[in-house]
């Protein structure tokens, strides 16, 4: 049976779609001695579950705790929302060309943040520019029509001077856009999201002995990128 995997790689220092780039891959050791942890696949709700919003909703940026294989629960930053009786953390947003996205960011962090819709063609006011960073306890409203063709996009924090650290701590997820061509291709190949079409979130992380995420870049990291020493696939080490 054919399977397609949609990849989202999150590099901490720069919000780009590739995790391993340039010299960094060859100058840092990434430990992966075993692959014996069951890969986490999103369910109907919870972390990275697929949400096709059919009404206005709110994404709450906050700190939470998630289980990571081989560790106690680990503190992460995430976007949390509720819809139709389900609760989601960092939901994979599923939209269609022509849909209108109506979402409010509710900043419940202890520092400023904002959301950028990476790859989408949107008006400047809702693009998530760092000048629109909102303070703790404040909200920011987004409303725009999705004009992009079908494809794999993503959304992430874009806070001034905080983007890399907040993304490393978890503030990012997929945004999938469908259109007629995309749906025809899926039908021809027999692909079904979550079964034979698997979103995989690839992240390089660094944990301390307590299992907490560590983001402490030196001057070289700030120029070239901060590479963690452990690779997570859908939050699963050694998957």
User: pLDDT, tens digit, for every residue of 17-38?
Assistant: 333 333 333 344 555 567 889 9
20's CB contacts (< 8 A; 6+ apart) are 9, 204, 227
What separation in angstroms does the CA of 222 have from each of 34, 155, 165? 30, 22, 11
230-233/236-237 β-pairing: antiparallel
Residue-range definition of the domain harbouring residue 39: 4-237
What is the pLDDT, as a whole number, of residue 25? 37
Total count of domains within the chain: 1
Judged against a pLDDT cut of 50, whether residue 14 lies above it is answered with no
Judged against a pLDDT cut of 70, whether residue 112 lies above it is answered with yes
Kindly report, residue by residue over 72-105, the tens digit of the pLDDT. 889 999 999 999 999 999 999 999 999 999 999 9
CATH number, residue 217: 2.60.40.420
**Do the beta carbons of residue 14 and residue 199 sit within 8 Å?**
no
- What is the C-alpha to C-alpha distance for residues 151 and 96, in angstroms, rounded to an integer? 10
What global pTM score does this model have? 0.85
Kindly report, residue by residue over 139-190, the tens digit of the pLDDT. 999 999 999 999 999 999 999 999 999 999 999 999 999 999 999 999 999 9
Q: What is the DSSP letter of 132?
A: G
């Amino acid at each position: 049976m054919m399977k397609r995997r949609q990849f989202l790689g999150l590099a901490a220092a720069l919000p780009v779609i590739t995790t391993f780039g340039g010299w960094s891959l060859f100058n840092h050791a990434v430990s992966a001695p075993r692959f014996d942890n069951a890969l986490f696949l999103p369910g109907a709700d919870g972390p990275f579950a697929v949400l096709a919003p059919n009404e206005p909703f709110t994404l709450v940026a906050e700190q939470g705790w998630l289980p990571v294989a081989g560790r106690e629960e680990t503190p992460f930053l995430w976007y949390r929302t509720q819809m139709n009786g389900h609760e989601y953390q960092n939901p994979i947003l599923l939209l269609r060309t022509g849909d209108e996205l109506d979402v409010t960011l509710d900043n419940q962090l202890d520092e400023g943040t904002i959301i950028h819709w990476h790859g989408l063609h949107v008006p400047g006011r809702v693009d998530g520019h760092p000048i629109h960073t909102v303070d703790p306890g404040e909200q920011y409203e987004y409303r725009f029509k999705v004009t992009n063709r079908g494809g794999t996009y993503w959304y992430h924090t874009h806070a001034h001077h905080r983007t890399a650290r907040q993304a490393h701590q978890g503030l990012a997820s997929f945004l999938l856009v469908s259109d007629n061509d995309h749906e025809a291709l899926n039908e021809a190949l027999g692909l079904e999201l979550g079964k034979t079409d698997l979103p995989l979130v690839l992240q390089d992380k660094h944990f301390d002995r307590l299992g907490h995420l560590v983001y402490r870049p030196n001057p070289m990291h700030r120029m070239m990128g901060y590479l963690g020493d452990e690779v997570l696939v859908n939050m699963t080490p050694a998957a």
